Amino acid sequence: MSHNFVADPKMAESTNPDQRKTAQTPKGYATGKSPNPLLSNILLDELDKYLKSKGLKFVRYADDFSIYTQSKSAAQKVGNEAHMFLKNRLDLPINREKGIRRP
């Protein structure tokens, strides 16, 4: 699962999922022309509801998401909360090295 925590919405980059490169990984599920994006959306609907209940601005496509905050400290706090939610509530393993935090 890849995720971004962006402290300033103006700094967010536009991403086109169709232009992303794929790589072989020992774990996880391949996405693309398969039902996996749909399955991700079903599972992560709970994350969407959680982020909305916190009043956060975010964008998600399948299992990639960005959360927008006003400051770096808020991004760090929200990132930790999202990590714990995914780990404890949805029992999803998170690779923090793949996550990106931008000021």
pLDDT, average across residues 26-31: 54
Indicate the pTM of the whole model.
0.62
B/e letters for 55-87, b = 16+ CB within 10 Å, e = fewer, are eeebebebbbbbbbbeeeeebeebbeebbebbe
pLDDT for res 3: 56
pLDDT for res 85: 94
pLDDT for res 63: 83
**Using an 8 Å Cβ cutoff, are 66 and 12 in contact?**
yes
Selection from 56, 55, 74, 73 nearest residue 65 by Cα: 56
